Amino acid sequence: MDSDKLEQYRPETEHRRSFFSLRWLVVILASYLTLFSHLSSANFPVLFVFMLLFAATNVAIVFVPTAWFSSSSGQRAISICDLFFVTITFYLLRIPGTYLYLAFILIFALAVIWSELKVVLFSLLVVSVLFGLFNYFRIQQFEFAVNMEQFLTLSLFFVVSMFYVFLSRQLKRDARLSMDVLEEKRNAEIMVEITRGLSSSLKTQDVLRVVGNRLREVLDAVECSIIGIDPKTGDAAEMVRTQGSESSDRKVDLAAVPELKEAYDGRKMIFRDVGEQSVAVVPMIAQDNVLGLIYVIGRNTGRPVSERTIRFFEIMASTAANALRNAQLFEEVEHRARTDFLTGLPNHRYFQATLSAELGRAQRHSHPLSLLIIDLDYLKIVNDRFGHPSGDMVIRAVAETIRLGCRDFDFAARYGGEEFTVILPETPLPGAILVADRIREKIAQVEFAGIGRITASVGVSNFPLNALSKEDLIRAADQALYIAKNGGRDRVAYFNYQLVGK
């Protein structure tokens, strides 16, 4: 069954259709009885009108919303309406006055209200046996005057009511079964879709958003959020929230929401009804760590949580947890791949990629962009005199000084060895020279114990003043650095516009 047909096929509607057919059967049988046994009686017009009214109720049910029809109160209301019609019909048929009628009404009432077939069958058996005995021995002192025609009429009604009860039970069960099958199928489809969504993205936020959104849709939930938990610190933060557009790293105090705390501490799912709402909390566990909690708030339907829902959540949470773990590992690997191990600054490759992107943006918007290349002066001497670890320590400290000397949207990287670069977006040459000189000054101010002070030379280049392409921009900064070194070091040099023109 493809998804289009799936949408059209609704077990509730099927159930409803069968129920109509059954009621029409009652109408036809009752009309048949009325016509043949009371065609000439004075009650015939009234009986006829009653049959029409009963038929009209069947038509009216067509307009009742399916949700109301399927609810137990809806079904009970329809049953009581039927009971009312049957009682009036019996009254008009002049059958009352016998114990049999009362017994029948009782049985019918039991049948329609509790839909209990066994009770109906048993009572029917008892009543039939009693009726047969009374009729056979003609025990007239009980004033039990029932003729054969009435007996047949009643029998037919018994059969119809039995049929009614039996079929309506069967239909209800069928509807439930098809609903179960459809729900299983829907869950399986959703799982496939979620798994596909998860495997197509390795970004943690994307992974979580896929899970959150699909879960909210499937469960028809009011809100679904995913709370990430740091396995080391136990700090919880809301990573994805499906309601509204806000997706924040909002801190969450697990202790403040009892369901969250219980699910986290006990590593188990929590399903709880809180007033109008029902709350579900499902821990996402991978490799024995609770990576997060799926927190779903839905409408309280009054129904207990089904085994199926629990199983669905279980598979969902473990798939999401593994995908989340993979995404986290991938992000970690990716971060390492673009970070310089010694300084923690972005490495050369990341710098190249960022410069391409920033230069592209500067070209598109015709904004200036400046580049600094910073080279430590005489680091070789430090290495030679104090050893490589001391040189490393100096490089690390200078990296930190450069990082702190930049604005948030500047991009500082380790170019290689004892060379650093800083990309300064939206910065004209004079501004870049100021930044470069400030960084140079800060580096020179640091006193290294046992080593003394280390200075740095800085070359500055600018788009579009000195170069239009990435390679030229780097080359221009390099040449400016050469000028700074030649000029005596511990200074900033920029590539002269006239020099470029030569």
- Among ligand GH3, Mg ion, none, the one that 491 touches (CB under a kind-dependent 5 to 8 A) is none
Site string for ligand GH3, 318-347 (x = CB under 6 A): ------------------------x-----
Contact between 360 and 420 under an 8 Å Cβ cutoff? The reply is: no
Nearer CB in complex with Mg ion: 369/394: 394
- Among ligand GH3, Mg ion, none, the one that 468 touches (CB under a kind-dependent 5 to 8 A) is none
410 contributes a contact to ligand GH3 by CB under 6 A = no
How far CA 89 is from CA of 95, 105, 157, 162, 183, in Å, comes to 9, 11, 11, 18, 42
Residues 253-282 that bind ligand GH3 (CB under 6 A): none
380 contributes a contact to ligand GH3 by CB under 6 A = yes
Quick one: which segment of 70-78, 209-217, 418-426, 465-473 binds Mg ion (CB under 5 A)? Answer: 418-426
How far apart are the C-alpha atoms of 159 and 104, rounded to whole Å?
A: 11
| 3-class DSSP string for 458-494 | EEEEEECCCCCCHHHHHHHHHHHHHHHHHCCCCCEEE
Q: Which of 238, 259, 358, 418 is catalytic?
A: 418
375 contributes a contact to Mg ion by CB under 5 A = yes
What letters, b where the CB count within 10 A reaches 16 and e where it falls short, cover 333-352?
eeeeeebbeebebbbeebbb
Residue 280, by phi and psi: left (phi above 0), alpha (psi -120 to 50) or beta?
beta
Minimum CB separation from Mg ion for residue 418, in Å?
A: 5
How far apart are the C-alpha atoms of 431 and 356, rounded to whole Å?
A: 21
Contact between 200 and 225 under an 8 Å Cβ cutoff? The reply is: no
Residue 116: active-site member: no
What's the order of all strands across the beta sheet hosting 270-274?
250-252, 236-241, 223-229, 289-299, 277-286, 270-274
Contacts of 99 by beta carbon, 8 Å cutoff, 6+ apart = 142, 144
392 contributes a contact to ligand GH3 by CB under 6 A = yes
Nearer CB in complex with ligand GH3: 161/343: 343
Q: Which residue is nearest to ligand GH3 (CB)?
A: 391
Residues 233-292 that bind Mg ion (CB under 5 A): none
Position among 32, 84, 378, 409 found at the interface with ligand GH3 (CB under 6 A): 378
383 contributes a contact to ligand GH3 by CB under 6 A = yes
470 contributes a contact to ligand GH3 by CB under 6 A = no
- Among Mg ion, ligand GH3, none, the one that 460 touches (CB under a kind-dependent 5 to 8 A) is none
* DSSP annotation string for 93-147: TT-TTSHHHHHHHHHHHHHHHH--HHHHHHHHHHHHHHHHHHHHHT-GGGT----
483 contributes a contact to ligand GH3 by CB under 6 A = no
410 contributes a contact to Mg ion by CB under 5 A = no
Nearer CB in complex with ligand GH3: 422/481: 481
459 contributes a contact to ligand GH3 by CB under 6 A = no
Count of other CB atoms within 10 angstroms of residue 166: 16
Minimum CB separation from ligand GH3 for residue 347, in Å?
A: 12
Nearer CB in complex with Mg ion: 418/490: 418
Is residue 501 helix, strand or coil? helix
Beta strand 419-425 pairing with 452-453:
unpaired
132 contributes a contact to ligand GH3 by CB under 6 A = no
How far apart are the C-alpha atoms of 329 and 321, rounded to whole Å?
A: 12
376 contributes a contact to ligand GH3 by CB under 6 A = yes
388 contributes a contact to ligand GH3 by CB under 6 A = yes
485 contributes a contact to ligand GH3 by CB under 6 A = yes
How far CA 27 is from CA of 19, 187, 286, 323, 397, in Å, comes to 13, 41, 61, 59, 94
Minimum CB separation from ligand GH3 for residue 402, in Å?
A: 15
Residues 204-243 that bind Mg ion (CB under 5 A): none
Site residues (CB under 6 A) for ligand GH3? Answer: 342, 375-380, 383, 388, 391-392, 395, 417-418, 485, 489
Binding site residues, Mg ion, CB under 5 A: 375-376, 418
Annotated catalytic residues are 418
